Every structure is written in structure tokens, then in C-alpha cells.
Amino acid sequence: MALSVADLDLRGVSEALGRREVTSVQATEEYLGRIAQHDRVLQSYITVMADHALARAKAADAEAERGRRRGPLHGVPIGLKDLIAVAGVRMTSGSQLYADHVATRDAFVTRRLHDAGAVILGKLAMHEWAFGRPATEGAFPTGRNPWDVRRAPSGSSSGSAVAAAAGLCAGALGSDTGGSIRGPAAMTGLVGHKPTYGLVSRSGVLPMCWSLDHVGPMTRGVWDSAALLQIIAGVDPDDTSTRGAQVQDYLGTVEAGARGLRLGVLRRFYVDVPGLHADVRAAALTAFDVLRAEGATLTDVDAPTLDLSMAAWAPFLAETYEYHARNLRERPEGYRESLRPRVYMGALFTGADYLRAQRLRERFRREVDALFERVDLLVFPGQMAPALRFEDFPTTGLATASMRYTAPWNLLGLPAVVVPCGVSGEGLPVSIQIVGRAFDDATVLRLARAYERVTDWHTRRPDPATWRL
Amino acid sequence: MTDDRHTQFDAECRAAGLTLSGRDRELLFDMWVDWLPHRDRLRAEVPAPEEEPWR
């Protein structure tokens, strides 16, 4: 096979399959071969579903032979964060407690992917219960950053980021409660999309905080994320948060360009801050110039309650504690030492703290709604700094400095995407972030694509020759 | 100061039904201390009457 799917984004794989330049079985075998070759170092998969994937790929090829192609995901190999259920397959949530847990039915998003003809390659590494720390040891290591294997890809959807960035799948799904899609996507040069809360079902997805959890795509390109979202978005009777889901034509509008879009730059809170890495700042400011040149207008805007957003986010950890309280009491040894205090922390918020947070959340919503009367989208740097070395991750705490870039947007449930916009002096990816109105994920993706199509950051690939310890 | 903080921390743990010792207690104490300035800000806020809980 002359064509290597590992060099392609999801769109490239989809188009190659459509042109019959490659079969789904060939693509699947190539990814499986790369997993076998590289994942001992990269640690991105917890469970490789080789037999399942090859059977699905064979069925997809047979259908294509008969002239039936279900859509852009037909035969495309995808990875799932290991908190998304696939019936009959182990689902660990990165936890020793669930080391032998086998899901009895597919998650809604899994079902949608199967119905679209996608091939599930395997279950991807993650931070323990979507809230632990990066780990290279133990039963469930969390993955190494393919841009520098001494660094973490951040988390918690760490394996999803590593596998998609390293070409060990064509795209992946992750989940995001305070930045767990966008953080690792930013650290690995991917597009990471946290859809509007209520657009994508979480049924069959293990929770971190029910009120803030989102499932979304992590891919090399914006079109790729639009294609995945098109399939996984929609009403699911098993997840009441999706009752009001408004699905748009993401692929149909993704090429509409930036002209005429009004962008608000959240400069005070996100750009003019001492902790922001100079390379991230410089790349983001250059990206804003590119968007202006593409016909968008940019205005500085502010939402004062951003200052309180981390204080308002943390009390939701009461939800995490509630989910784990019994297991923590009865089987504390089932949790890593580094995770236990983070979960216990949820017990120390009072009911009044939780409700105060809910009221500040409402205040924040009103402020941002007012901004969206003046602008169509909000833009700002996608992260505080490029990827950290494993040893530089704090042992405790809530990482409020870095989470300020992502967690406020979980509080509001608004669509948010990171898109690569440069590299640091050390060659590490950096990103901008775009936030839109609720259920207007299409405009978020449209601006991301407008930026992407006049830049080449998304085409850069990490070098497999560096994947050694 | 540290003793006062430990006393307050232990009281809050008891109120929450947590009985921790050793490393778990140490790590949670560090995390709780990090969180206190945020909590103070949260508790110092006085939402307006129309700022009802998010629904």
C-alpha cells in the first residue's frame, strides 16, 4: 500500500476510502500495526479491539463493494476514550477499580458511530476517572505527548489526543468537564471540540460531574470534527440534557469563511495576564491578525465574572464525590493516592457553596449573553502554556491557572473549540480557542476552519523517530 | 496559624463525614488550603435577588 493513512487527517482517510485508494481493512491494519510498533512508548490505548475492528472494517468494505457508503465515516477507524461504552468490551475509566469491568451495551455515541459505518479501533488511555494526574507507571498509564515523549499531553482525554496526533487512529472522542478535550488537543496540535452541553448524549459514558460533562471530537482537522459531530449530535431519550438539542449542518457550513463575523477578544482575562506563556500570547495575537485579514472584525470585550469562574467551578466536585463516596469508603486502595484527595475535596463544599456557585454561574451567563448581542464569537488563547514535563505537574490542587482557559466554558455549556495556531520555541503546539452561542457549534467550527485553511499548523506531524525513551 | 488551620480543616472533615489519616489527610489539607482563597471569594459574593440558581 503506497498510501499511508497515518499521514492523513480523518477527511483524507475518508476520501481515500471513498476513492477506493485504500480499503477499511487496509487502513485498520495500518493503524493496528502502528499501535503495535509505537504504543509501548506512547501508551495511548488501554484496550485494542483488533478482532472487533477488523470484523467491522471487513463489513464496511463489503458494503462499499455493493455500492453502499453510509457517509464520511464509513470504514474510518476511530478511538474512544475509555469511559465511553462499547458493548462486550472492557471499560476502565483509567481505574484499577474498573480493571475488569465490561460494558453491557453501547453508549449512544458508540451506536451512532457504528450506524455511520465507523470502525472502533480501541479504548483510549485517560486520567483516572477523568480527574487524576498524568501517570507513566501502573496498570493504566495516561499517555506520552508525541511532540516530546518526556512531556504529558495533559488530560483527561490524554490517550485520545496522543492517538489522534500520532496517527494511531483517524480521530477520537474525548470528554470535557473542565477542559479535558481542549487541554490535551491544544497540547498535541489537534482540533478539540467541546460541543454545546445537551447536544451530544452522555448515556453510556461514565461521569465526572453530570452538570459539566461533555463528549466531543478530537481530530487533526476542523472538517474532521464537524464530520464526527454531525454523527454523534442529537436527541437521546436516555440523556434528558439532550431534549432541546438543536443539530445544525456542520459540514455544510464549515467552509463559509470568516468574512462578516464579529469576534470579541477576552483580552483582560486571557491575554493581558502575567502567567500566559510568551509564545502562546504571540501566536494567538498573530492568529487574531489572520482572522482580521480573513474578513472578521475584532473588538476587545470582557465578562467580569470570569474572575470568579474557578471559584464557581470547583463546588461541582461535590458531584464527583457523590459518585465515588461509597467506593472511596469501602475500597480506597482502588484509587491512586494522587486522586483520592481530589475526590475527597468534593465532600468539603457545603450545599450553600454549591448553590452560590449556581447563582454566579447564572450571573456569568447573563454577562456572556450580553456579549453575544455585540459579537458572534469569543476568541482567546487556547491554553496558559505549552505541554509540561511529567514531573512539573502539581501533585495536588485544581490547576486553576491552566483551567481558567477552559473550565468557565463548561459552566456555561457553550460550544468551544481549540485549533492549533503555532509552535513554541521548544517546538510544542499552541492553540487559540473559539467560543460561540449555545447550539451554534456550526459558527464555531466555521471560524476555526476559516483560520485553518489559510495556515498550515494543522498539517504538521510529530516525528515517530523521537518516540523512544 | 497552621495549627488553627488544621483545627478548622479537621472540623470541616468531621462535618463532611470524612475520617482521614496519614498521606490522604496531608494531601487533602494542602488542597483545601489552596482552595481557601477561592472559597473566600465565593462566599464573599452577594448575588442579586434575580441571580437565581442556574436551571
Amino acid symbol at A104 = T
More confident call, B53 vs A29: A29
Q: Do A314 and B54 lie within an 8 Å CB cutoff?
A: no
Dist. CA B41–CA B19, nearest whole Å: 27
User: What pLDDT is attached to residue A164?
Assistant: 98
Indicate yes or no: CB of B28 within 8 angstroms of CB of A345: yes
pLDDT at A399: 67
Q: Is the peptide bond before A95 cis (omega within 30 degrees of 0)?
A: no
Q: Are A314 and B35 in contact (CB under 8 A)?
A: yes
Mean pLDDT, residues A258-282: 97
Q: Which of A24, A44, A93, A156 is catalytic?
A: A156
- Residues of A whose CB is below 8 A from B12: 348
Q: By CA distance, what is A315's nearest residue in B?
A: B39
The pLDDT of A106-119, averaged and rounded, is 98
- Three-class SS of residue A142? coil
pLDDT number for residue A280: 98
Query: Which among B23, B39, B43 has the least Cβ separation from residue A337?
Result: B23
Residue A91 contacts residue A98 (beta carbons within 8 Å): yes
CA distance A169 to A31: 6
Answer yes or no: pTM beyond 0.90: yes
String of DSSP letters for A366-391: HHHHHHTTT-SEEEEES-SSSPPBGG
Arithmetic mean of pLDDT, A330-345: 94
* Residue A275: burial class (beta carbons within 10 Å; 0-12, 13-18, 19+): exposed
A238 vs chain B: nearest CA distance in angstroms?
A: 20
Select from A396, A398, A400, A410 the residue whose CB has the most chain B CBs within 10 Å, as the one to mutate to test that interface: A396
Please state, in angstroms and rounded to a whole number, the distance separating the CA atoms of residues A437 and A442. 10
What confidence category does residue A93 fall into, taking pLDDT thresholds of 50, 70 and 90?
A: very high
The residues near A370 (Cβ < 8 Å, ≥ 6 apart) are none
- Which DSSP letter does residue A89 get? S
CB contact under 8 A, A314 and B24: no
Interface of A with B (CB under 8 A): 308, 310-312, 314-315, 332, 337-338, 340-342, 344-345, 347-348, 353, 355-363, 365-366, 395-398, 400
Q: What is the ipTM of this complex?
A: 0.95
B1-47 residue pLDDT tens: 578 999 999 999 999 999 998 999 999 999 999 999 999 999 999 99
For the residues A295-306, what does the mean pLDDT come to?
98
CB contact set of B5 (below 8 Å; sequence gap of 6+) = B29, B33
- The yes-or-no verdict on residue A384 having pLDDT over 90 is yes
Interface size, chain A vs chain B, as Cβ–Cβ contacts under 8 Å: 89
Please check the confidence at residue A420 and state whether its pLDDT lies above 90.
yes
Ordered strands of the A262-266 beta sheet:
A45-48, A119-124, A77-81, A172-176, A214-219, A191-194, A416-423, A429-436, A377-381, A262-266, A297-301
What value does the mean pLDDT take over residues A189-205? 98
CB A302 within 8 A of CB A368: no
Quote the cell numbers at residue A91: 471499560
pLDDT at residue A91, as a whole number: 98
CA A188, distance to chain mean position in Å, is 11
From the list A172, A176, A199, A197, the residue with the least C-alpha distance to A365 is A197
